[in-house]
Amino acid sequence: MALASEAGGGAAAAKKAARREIIKALKALGDDAMAAQNAAIAARVLASRAFASARTVGVYIHCAKLHEVDTMPLLRDALAQGKRVYVPLVDDRNSNMRLLHIDAADDMRPAPPFGILEPSVSYADGSARENVMEMERPLDLLLMPGLGFDAAGGRLGRGGGYYDKFVRGLQQRAAEQGWAPPLLVALAFTEQLRDGGVPMEPHDAFLDAVVTPGALHLCSDAARRAEAGGG
């Protein structure tokens, strides 16, 4: 389970140490092993009831240089199924980002400094892309990246705070509209799942589920209901 929050620099030090360990393990993961894990994770997501029933889906775009789980097969499958898909656009270095609607994978272009694919701010006709925070329907599912995870829904990010800040905004908007909040689902290589838990602080968002090559870890009642077919 997630480790209890520690005061002051204790939590920061624990996170820093955990990040070093996980990054080292990911760098040691060979290309063939990574490809096999990517395929197994994608298969588990596609087989899940939560993904099948979601009409609106947020999908992070993976960064190969950071050894993140590849999301492109899931994005393409979601588009092929007719789901409404939203992907991140980083606005600045102050942990601000948006999720914008795309119609196709070709709507994205590499962005510096890591070459991660991002959408343009407008459609081909010049109109503004739909922003998740402005749409008149709930976001059903958000596939999230991260560096470390545990089976209780703990998530250790890379320190930028983008997703924690964004998720708080999503949850607040859902509450204001009377919607159920989106299911927060992380994708993780085996090397990213820590049996002893990950360090967590009060501002860190807990996940509803974590998908690894070997299992779909259901971490909340909402995720368990979704997989049972209860919505």
Q: What is the pLDDT of residues 100-134, one digit of tens each?
A: 999 999 999 999 888 899 999 999 999 999 999 99
Q: CA-based diameter of the chain, in Å?
A: 51
Domains in the chain with CATH codes: 48-228 (3.40.50.10420)
Helix/strand/coil percentages in the chain, nearest 5: 35, 20, 40
Q: Which pLDDT score is estimated for 144?
A: 95
The strand pairing partners of 156, in sequence order, are 148
Question: Is 10 labelled as part of a ligand binding site?
Answer: no
Residues near 143 by beta carbon (within 8 Å), at least 6 away in sequence: 45, 57, 58, 59, 60, 71, 74, 185, 186, 187
Asked whether residue 158 is marked as a ligand-binding residue, the answer is: yes
Residue range 65-84: average pLDDT? 96
Q: Does the annotation list 159 as a binding residue?
A: yes
State yes or no: pLDDT of 20 exceeds 90.
yes
At 139-189, the pLDDT tens digits run 999 999 999 999 999 999 888 878 888 999 999 999 999 999 999 999 999
**More confidently predicted of 194 and 161:** 194
User: Is 161 labeled as ligand-binding?
Assistant: yes
